[in-house]
Amino acid sequence: MFYNHENPTQKSIYDNKILIVDDAMLNRELITSFLKGAGYQNLVTAVDGADALNQLNQYDIDLVILDLLMPNVDGTEVIKKVRTDTRLKQLPILVQTAISDPEERAEAWKYGATDIITKPIHKLELLARVKIHLENSFLIQTLENYQKIADHEVAKALEVQKSLLPSEEVLKKLGEKHHISIDSIFIPSRFLSGDIWGLYELETGRLLIWICDFSGKGISASLYTLRLHTLIAEHRHKLKDPSTLIHLVNLKLSEMVKEGHFCTFLVGVIDLNRMKFDYLSASATHPIIYRPSEKSYILGDGAGLPLGITKEATYPLKTLDLKPGDNLILYSDLMWEDQGTIPDMSFLPEELPGLIDRLNGQSLLQMAKDKIQACAEIAFSDDLTLIEIVINPQELKNVKI
């Protein structure tokens, strides 16, 4: 279908190919005459339903004018077959019929007719209906094309955003070097995510990890994650402790984000030499130390003013003890804001005891993965980030404690 985009409703619609289907030659000639007189020249005809289906396979048809009562294959059967063909699902079908029975006419609507006009055909009504359905078809096709382009661009943008996260190769190398296991889940709620996290080595036995959640969702929030990642990468050489990093980020975000926007943020150092997790929080979710062997947990403190609100904010250092076999769990606030997203997996303080009991010593992150995989139709009301760092007990003998 071709259109002059400067004026899509003039001249160009008259190039569309229209199929006229009627077993009566007089009706075919009458409709053809009306359309040619109005400027439509790209016309083909069919004598019954079987002929119509053959023409639809042979040509790229833009609109069908279809009689209902015909020998061999009737109009209703043509509609049924057309609507089961994904290539023709949006094809306008203008039914022309002498049937006055509402129930029989309703059958045409039921199976996917676009419009119905009553015989004998009135010229002005026919031309008006043809014109409006060709214009509507163009608009629908235009929207579908834009949607395809947008989906493609968003998919590429998501791949770029995922590339900002620690890669599997990096996590594997850090895990092998420091005798830990690192795994994560990252699922945007709306094409792109306002969540981001990072991890890098300060020195042997000490890893700095941070997790951030920007207010809002979608493209605007995702752009802030890109700017934050660039900021941290640019200053990484001098960010040797969590306090320096959080204050730098807060200072820059206070200048960068628009009023009313902010981010929650947690940054800490996994110190395997001292077996401590030293961290600072800016209204982040509570870090969790999960102890599978004991079927118990320790809940950290996520309190603090969100970043980007005021440059004068201060963030005290907090510490959690680590033991061989501990799992450090960091996560975005979906895990306590929407308790129904992942069934039976709320991290709200009052829900955690029951969750830990149900885990029965299993991996918390693996349970989340299994539940997400089991719920194919799962819909996330917010972005999901979930990180699990396991301190492997059998390999800690090589770590200086």
Q: Could you tell me if residue 128 is inside a domain?
A: yes
* pLDDT of 392: 84
Sheet holding 180-187, edge to edge: 180-187, 384-391, 327-331, 288-291, 296-299
Instruction: Give percent of the chain with pLDDT exceeding 70.
Output: 92
Looking at the domain assignment, is residue 3 inside a domain? no
Whole domain around residue 252: which residue ranges?
A: 164-398
Last residue of a domain, one of 102, 129, 153: 153
Tell me which of 120, 153, 186 is where a domain ends.
153
Those residues with Cβ within 8 angstroms of residue 260's Cβ, 6 or more apart along the chain or in another chain: 215
The structure tokens 């890669």 sit at 167
The reply to whether 126 and 202 lie within a common domain is: no
State the pLDDT at residue 251.
92
Kindly state whether residues 222 and 116 are assigned to the same domain: no
Q: In this structure, are 171 and 136 located in the same domain?
A: no
C-alpha 169 chain-centroid distance: 26
Q: What is the mean pLDDT of the chain?
A: 88
pLDDT (0 to 100) of residue 118: 86
As given in the structure block, the two tokens for residue 279 are 């961290």
Q: What is the pLDDT of residue 134?
A: 94
Residues 331-376 have pLDDT tens digits of: 998 887 655 577 788 888 898 999 999 999 999 999 999 988 887 6
The CATH number of residue 340's host domain is: 3.60.40.10
Local structure of residue 192 (DSSP, 8 states): B
Domain assignment present for residue 158? The answer is no
| φ, ψ for residue 325, nearest 5 deg | 95, -10
CATH of the domain at 129: 3.40.50.2300
204 in a structural domain = yes
Q: What domain count does the chain have? A: 2
Give the chain's residues under pLDDT 70.
1-11, 100-101, 104, 260, 337-340, 376-379, 393-401
- Whether 267 is in a domain gets the answer yes
Residue 76 CA to residue 249 CA, distance in Å, equals 65
* CA angle centred on 286, ends 209 and 375, rounded to 5°: 90
Looking at residue 378, its pLDDT comes to 65
Quick: pLDDT tens for 198-207: 999 999 899 9
| pLDDT value, residue 336 | 76
Which tens digits make up the pLDDT trace of 139-178?
A: 888 888 888 888 888 889 889 999 999 999 999 999 999 9
